[in-house]
Chain A
Amino acid sequence: MKHISRLFLATGAAFILAVAGCTNSAGVPDNSKDAAEGYDPKAPVTLTWWTGQTADAQALAEKLAKEYQAAHPNVTLNVSAGAAETGELLTKLSAAFTSGNYPDISYAYGTWAAELAGSGRAQDLTTFVGDPAMAWEEFPVAARATATVDGRVIGVPAVVDNLGLIYNKKLFDQAGVPYPTDTWSWDDFRSAAKKLTDPSRNVYGTAYSVAGSEDTTWHLWPLLWQRGGKILDGRKPAFNSDAGVAALEFLRSMAVDDKSMYLDQTNEKYLPLFFSGSVGMVMSGPWTLYDLKANKVDYGVASLPGFNGDHQTVSGPDLWVLYNHSDPNRAGASRDFVRWLTSKEVDPRWNLAIGNLPLRASEKDSAEFADYVKTYAPGAQKFFDNFANAKQPRPAVTGYVEMSGYVGEEISKVLQGAAPAKGALDEAARKAAPALTNG
């Protein structure tokens, strides 16, 4: 029996060594030359595509993949959602990098861009998107900036959006308050929210998520920018400037002094409450259009309220990230597919069909866009026009995700009256600094 246990020990030791190898991220491809150099468009290739979609959108993705394969018989596309929930894709990708078995193309939230670039597995697409055939300038500026990490393009926009002010007309009529306009100031917003609030009927003027995730954090950025503030200065936190403190103090006054703001602990309740007529206004984006229609809400959309006439908003674009497998044919074929998918001919049948805004400005003349605007009136046209107000991108740096967690947590404290705006933002900046400088 003894030698068997010795055998077992030896296997155990070998196994621990194997595990030790896992975190060393072995097998990073050679990124010194272009991943698609020497691409042969006729070579047979098999590509894996993680769509990050569910239900109807996933079915449509599979249909489009079939269509592409019919036109390119040498390409086989393995299409899957990649993860049960889009937010879990990053964890799945991280596991896939460790095992070396990662996809060719995957959906990714814009905030992940810097981390994915840092993995060493993402293709450098800078020259590829520079090709006039790609018409890179047609994508919204914030979306292009999100795909660019330290001057290197690592993905192509997959979904574009922005925040506007959505309001429930019925609640405004009941309270006798005029509808929001595109020239509203934040004071107009605050006084309207106060008038709409009616504790006896459980009606709130507006709502804000205090779950402390990115949903909490990014709603603060447009207020900060409108006051001339910046999120980062180089790689140092700058959101705790006077502009940031004033922006957060404004939200605090509504939540704590006026009590006109419903604070959602989970970030999953405030939209349903808006749909059911318990919240008068929400700062949200085009992803609500489908539910607004399904719930038959009588609503309107305006630009975000502004400060000194500046009504800029924030955009949260998502990306298709392409990965390098040290095989020029796979790299070239995945580029060709993504160019096709995001082209102005195919994108209307993809994004517009599933209720998203068009990726490219040039799609506005298509028949699909006219249809889309009609189906999702009045929101669709307004959110499309609101792109003009999306002037700055969220920073594409490693450590943004960690920083966002700290900022979100501190915003939650302030809105629940547990901390002053200045001290809270300073605390978030202090915690975030090491993550931003060290990655």
Chain B
Amino acid sequence: MAERRGVLARGLTGWAFAGPATLLVVGLSIFPTVWAFLISRTRWNGIAIPRPLGWANYRLMAEDPELWDSVRHTFVLTALFVPSSILGGMTVAIALSQQVRLIKFYRTCIFVPFVASSAATGILASYVFNPQFGTANELLRRIGLPPQQFLEDPRQVLVVICLIALWGQIGFTAVVYLARLQDRPKDLIEAAMVDGAGRFRILWHIIVPELRPVTVFMVVWQTITALQLFDLVYTTTRGGPLSSSTTIVYYVFELAFQTRRYGYGSAVAYGLFAVTMVLTVGTILYSRRSKVEAF
């Protein structure tokens, strides 16, 4: 009996520690998740009594051209954003790990845009890239290039949004890489130097492989960031011009809170959730199999 009571007491102590956090997670994540699923099987404008539809909203997704457009935009953004934020972050981190004067000042400069909220970044950028009155065109004019439409040209808008996102996010990837670079294997580098390896070969054969686990983690992290891009789109273009910058999450927002189709909006959100989950699990499995300890 005493033993059983001990187990019970230990269990209760465990729950006493985990309980508050569990309640928070259940209340703020699991509750809305379950509820959104129930809503996704209805037609609901948020106010009137919801009408059950079964799986109709999910079937609708397959034949909704606007959804597929927003999927395409999201993939273009992800394909532009993930590699460039990782390469950019790695380059900046390697540069910042050198012994240079005022290095702390440079590090702060790189990190500050990440601390600024992306809503503020977006509002600022929409002024900079305004085709009629912005400073970006002024700059182009001074160096003798023709003015661009930037955020108001359906062909340029995704690239410009990606640039704005990079401005905020490179600081983050750089800091993560920098942390890893702080404990690079000094003995290995010294050994390589003794063997006569040049700086570039040390970089390529020792430092970059050392960064692999961080890179796998950053790929997953930045992919999720790109897939969930919303605030920049909201503050710069509202999905325009001509819906050419509507990302999946912005489309969900538009469905639920502008056209008030909560049911279909929730179904699309679930679709995105499934894709994100598959991508994440896939990457974790890959990294385990190839023995890169990222997770």
Interfacial residues, chain A to chain B (CB-CB below 8 A): 1, 4, 15-16, 19-20, 22-25, 90-91, 93-94, 97, 115-116, 118-120, 202, 210-213, 262-263, 265-266, 269, 278, 398, 401-402, 405-406, 409, 412-413, 416, 418, 438-439
The smallest beta-carbon distance between A418 and chain B, in angstroms, is 5
Tell whether, in the assembled complex, residue B152 and residue A401 are in contact, meaning their CB atoms are under 8 Å apart. no
B249 CB contacts on chain A under 8 angstroms: none
Choose from A4, A23, A116, A119 the contact partner of B38 (Cβ within 8 Å). A23
A24 CB contacts on chain B under 8 angstroms: 49-50
Best-surrounded residue of B35, B130, B152, B258 (most CB of chain A within 10 A): B258
A1 CB contacts on chain B under 8 angstroms: 7, 11
The smallest beta-carbon distance between B10 and chain A, in angstroms, is 9
Tell whether, in the assembled complex, residue A90 and residue B240 are in contact, meaning their CB atoms are under 8 Å apart. no
Q: Is B259 located at the chain interface by the 8 A CB criterion?
A: yes
B130 CB contacts on chain A under 8 angstroms: 269
Best-surrounded residue of B132, B133, B151 (most CB of chain A within 10 A): B132
A115 CB contacts on chain B under 8 angstroms: 45-48, 260
Given contacts A23-B44, A91-B257, 12 further A-B contacts (CB under 8 A): A15-B26, A15-B31, A16-B34, A20-B38, A90-B260, A115-B47, A118-B48, A265-B237, A398-B45, A402-B45, A413-B242, A418-B242
Q: Is B106 located at the chain interface by the 8 A CB criterion?
A: no
Tell whether, in the assembled complex, residue B11 and residue A19 are in contact, meaning their CB atoms are under 8 Å apart. no
| Sample of 18 A–B contacts (CB below 8 Å) | A19-B38, A23-B35, A23-B39, A24-B50, A90-B47, A91-B257, A94-B47, A115-B45, A115-B48, A118-B45, A202-B132, A212-B240, A265-B237, A265-B241, A278-B133, A401-B260, A412-B240, A413-B242
Q: Is B107 located at the chain interface by the 8 A CB criterion?
A: no
| Interface residues in B32-89 (C-beta closer than 8 Å to A) | 34-35, 38-39, 42-51
B15 CB contacts on chain A under 8 angstroms: 4
Tell whether, in the assembled complex, residue A402 and residue B238 are in contact, meaning their CB atoms are under 8 Å apart. no
The smallest beta-carbon distance between A119 and chain B, in angstroms, is 5
Tell whether, in the assembled complex, residue B50 and residue A402 are in contact, meaning their CB atoms are under 8 Å apart. no
A439 CB contacts on chain B under 8 angstroms: 45, 48
| Interface residues in B7-40 (C-beta closer than 8 Å to A) | 7, 11, 15, 26, 31, 34-35, 38-39
Give CA–CA (A19, B50) in the complex, Å: 14
Tell whether, in the assembled complex, residue A265 and residue B35 are in contact, meaning their CB atoms are under 8 Å apart. no
**Which 7 interchain pairs have the tightest Cβ spacing?**
A94-B46, A405-B259, A118-B48, A119-B47, A402-B259, A265-B240, A202-B132
Tell whether, in the assembled complex, residue B242 and residue A412 are in contact, meaning their CB atoms are under 8 Å apart. yes
- Given the interface pairs A210-B241, A211-B240, the reply to whether A93 lies near B39 with Cβ below 8 Å is no
Q: Is B126 located at the chain interface by the 8 A CB criterion?
A: yes
Choose from A22, A91, A398, A402 the contact partner of B35 (Cβ within 8 Å). A22
Give CA–CA (A409, B258) in the complex, Å: 12
Tell whether, in the assembled complex, residue B34 and residue A23 are in contact, meaning their CB atoms are under 8 Å apart. no
A416 CB contacts on chain B under 8 angstroms: 241-242
Choose from A118, A210, A269, A401 the contact partner of B240 (Cβ within 8 Å). A210
Tell whether, in the assembled complex, residue B260 and residue A97 are in contact, meaning their CB atoms are under 8 Å apart. no
A278 CB contacts on chain B under 8 angstroms: 132-133
B45 CB contacts on chain A under 8 angstroms: 115, 118, 398, 401-402, 439
Tell whether, in the assembled complex, residue B258 and residue A213 are in contact, meaning their CB atoms are under 8 Å apart. yes
A97 CB contacts on chain B under 8 angstroms: 47
Tell whether, in the assembled complex, residue A438 and residue B43 are in contact, meaning their CB atoms are under 8 Å apart. yes
Tell whether, in the assembled complex, residue A265 and residue B238 are in contact, meaning their CB atoms are under 8 Å apart. yes
Across the interface, name the chain A residue whose C-beta is closest to B131: A202
Q: Is B243 located at the chain interface by the 8 A CB criterion?
A: yes
Across the interface, name the chain A residue whose C-beta is closest to B50: A23
Interchain Cβ contacts within 8 Å, total number: 95
State which size class the interface on B falls in: 35 or more
| Interface residues in B226-261 (C-beta closer than 8 Å to A) | 237-243, 254, 257-261
Interfacial residues, chain B to chain A (CB-CB below 8 A): 7, 11, 15, 26, 31, 34-35, 38-39, 42-51, 126, 130, 132-133, 151-152, 237-243, 254, 257-261
The smallest beta-carbon distance between B215 and chain A, in angstroms, is 36
Across the interface, name the chain B residue whose C-beta is closest to A409: B243
A116 CB contacts on chain B under 8 angstroms: 47
A16 CB contacts on chain B under 8 angstroms: 34
Choose from B11, B47, B133, B258 the contact partner of A405 (Cβ within 8 Å). B258
Choose from B7, B48, B151 the contact partner of A119 (Cβ within 8 Å). B48
Choose from B11, B126, B254, B258 the contact partner of A4 (Cβ within 8 Å). B11
The smallest beta-carbon distance between B50 and chain A, in angstroms, is 5
Tell whether, in the assembled complex, residue B238 and residue A23 are in contact, meaning their CB atoms are under 8 Å apart. no
The smallest beta-carbon distance between B158 and chain A, in angstroms, is 15
The smallest beta-carbon distance between A98 and chain B, in angstroms, is 9
A213 CB contacts on chain B under 8 angstroms: 258
Across the interface, name the chain B residue whose C-beta is closest to A408: B258
Give CA–CA (A118, B15) in the complex, Å: 45
A25 CB contacts on chain B under 8 angstroms: 48-50
Give CA–CA (A398, B49) in the complex, Å: 13
A93 CB contacts on chain B under 8 angstroms: 47
Give CA–CA (A409, B255) in the complex, Å: 13
Give CA–CA (A94, B49) in the complex, Å: 11
Tell whether, in the assembled complex, residue A19 and residue B238 are in contact, meaning their CB atoms are under 8 Å apart. no
Choose from B31, B126, B261 the contact partner of A402 (Cβ within 8 Å). B261
Across the interface, name the chain A residue whose C-beta is closest to B22: A8
Give CA–CA (A320, B50) in the complex, Å: 25
Across the interface, name the chain B residue whose C-beta is closest to A7: B15
The smallest beta-carbon distance between B251 and chain A, in angstroms, is 12
The smallest beta-carbon distance between B129 and chain A, in angstroms, is 11
B47 CB contacts on chain A under 8 angstroms: 90, 93-94, 97, 115-116, 118-119
Give CA–CA (A418, B51) in the complex, Å: 36
Tell whether, in the assembled complex, residue B259 and residue A212 are in contact, meaning their CB atoms are under 8 Å apart. no
The smallest beta-carbon distance between B18 and chain A, in angstroms, is 11
Give CA–CA (A266, B235) in the complex, Å: 8
A19 CB contacts on chain B under 8 angstroms: 31, 34-35, 38
B151 CB contacts on chain A under 8 angstroms: 265
Give CA–CA (A405, B216) in the complex, Å: 41
Choose from B34, B43, B46, B238 the contact partner of A91 (Cβ within 8 Å). B46
Across the interface, name the chain B residue whose C-beta is closest to A115: B47
Give CA–CA (A94, B45) in the complex, Å: 9
Give CA–CA (A278, B49) in the complex, Å: 47
A409 CB contacts on chain B under 8 angstroms: 243
The smallest beta-carbon distance between A31 and chain B, in angstroms, is 14
A210 CB contacts on chain B under 8 angstroms: 240-241
Give CA–CA (A103, B133) in the complex, Å: 45
